[in-house]
Structure 1
Amino acid sequence: MKIGELARRTGLSASRIRFYEASGLIEARRLGNGYRDYPEDAVQRLEVITCGQQAGFSLEEMRALTLEPTGGANRHERLLASLKGKVVEIEAMQARLAQSRTHLLALIAGIEGKPVDISCEENAQRLLARLRENDEPHSQAT
């Protein structure tokens, strides 16, 4: 199938499809007139790549998952391990984001609740000192 048909069927732009081809994720054979001719399985491969990227997989990770020889228990196990690993990465990112959110909300509250008798600079120093205290390892307290 030509690139226009592949783009229509996958919802991807022709330039994105050419990018995936240049990256080695899909292949096309060249016709005598120079047009690209994509195999039927390119639709499914592109859908898998798009879905994987939306789930947070890099192109390199997608290459490892999609270019392996088909079939076999090893591929199944690698796919499961990759998916589980991505969940762990997402959970770690969520924890970092939650901590950042907590810090930002504390800063906002500290700025909004600035005592009237101190300057903005003194308040900033006070808030930063408070954040440093909260970030210190708790092992010193034992």
Structure 2
Amino acid sequence: MLIGELAKQAQLSRDTIRFYEKMQLIQSITRNNGYKDYPEQTLQQLQLIRTAKNLGFSLGEIQQILEMTAQNEIPAIQVQGIFQEKLNMIDEKIAQLHQMRTMLSRLTQGEACPLRKDCPIPELN
């Protein structure tokens, strides 16, 4: 499948597909005429990439997942572990954002400003 058709089916730009190929998330085969041909499985890989990105996975994490799936199907217990690890990271980030929000809320309600020389700077944990 040529890049234009792949882009259309995957609902991605050609530049995005080229970027993913440069990052070695997908592979193509170069034809004799210089055009790149993408195997049918590339569409499934792009759908997996999109889903993983929507779940908050980085391209590095997605690359690891793709490497595991290329070897064999990932065991369910390992998938659960990957999801739990991401969930823990999200929970940690939510806690940090909540702490930042609380501090900013206090500052908007008149608490001493930590950005002035005479104000103590509270620390985020």
Q: Kindly provide the amino acid, as one letter, of the partner of residue 85 in structure 1.
A: E
Q: Quick check: which has more Rg, 1 or 2?
A: 1
Residues 83 and 35 (structure 1), Cα distance of their counterparts in 2 relative to 1, 3 Å cut: same
> In structure 1, what is the equivalent of residue 113 of structure 2?
124
Q: Kindly provide the amino acid, as one letter, of the partner of residue 89 in structure 1.
A: M
Is 1:28–2:17 an aligned residue pair? no
Gaps of 5+ in 2: none
Judge conservation of contact 1:3–1:38 (CA < 8 Å) in 2. yes
Task: Give CA deviations for 1:36-56 in whole Å, capped at 9, x if unaligned.
Answer: 110111111001111111211
Q: Whole-Å Cα distance in 1 between the matches of residues 50 and 124 of structure 2?
A: 41
Aligned length: 121
- Which has a greater percent of helix? 1
> In structure 2, what is the equivalent of residue 89 of structure 1?
89
Q: Whole-Å Cα distance in 2 between the matches of residues 89 and 46 of structure 1?
A: 24
- Percentage of matched positions with identical amino acids: 34
* TM-score, scaled relative to structure 1: 0.75
Please state how far the C-alpha of 1:96 moved relative to its aligned partner: 0.6
Which 10-residue stretch deviates more, 50-59 or 84-93?
A: 50-59
Q: Whole-Å Cα distance in 2 between the matches of residues 136 and 108 of structure 1?
A: 17
Judge conservation of contact 2:52–2:62 (CA < 8 Å) in 1. yes
Q: Whole-Å Cα distance in 1 between the matches of residues 23 and 41 of structure 2?
A: 17
Q: What SS does the corresponding residue of 2:110 show, helix, strand or coil?
A: helix
Is 1:16–2:13 an aligned residue pair? no
Relative contact order higher in (CA < 8 Å, ≥ 6 apart)? 2
Q: Whole-Å Cα distance in 1 between the matches of residues 103 and 72 of structure 2?
A: 47
Please state how far the C-alpha of 1:72 moved relative to its aligned partner: 5.6
> In structure 2, what is the equivalent of residue 120 of structure 1?
none
Judge conservation of contact 2:20–2:26 (CA < 8 Å) in 1. yes
Gaps of 5+ in 1: 112-122, 138-142
Q: Whole-Å Cα distance in 1 between the matches of residues 39 and 48 of structure 2?
A: 15
Judge conservation of contact 1:26–1:45 (CA < 8 Å) in 2. yes
Judge conservation of contact 1:53–1:59 (CA < 8 Å) in 2. yes
Q: Whole-Å Cα distance in 1 between the matches of residues 119 and 87 of structure 2?
A: 33
Judge conservation of contact 1:65–1:79 (CA < 8 Å) in 2. no
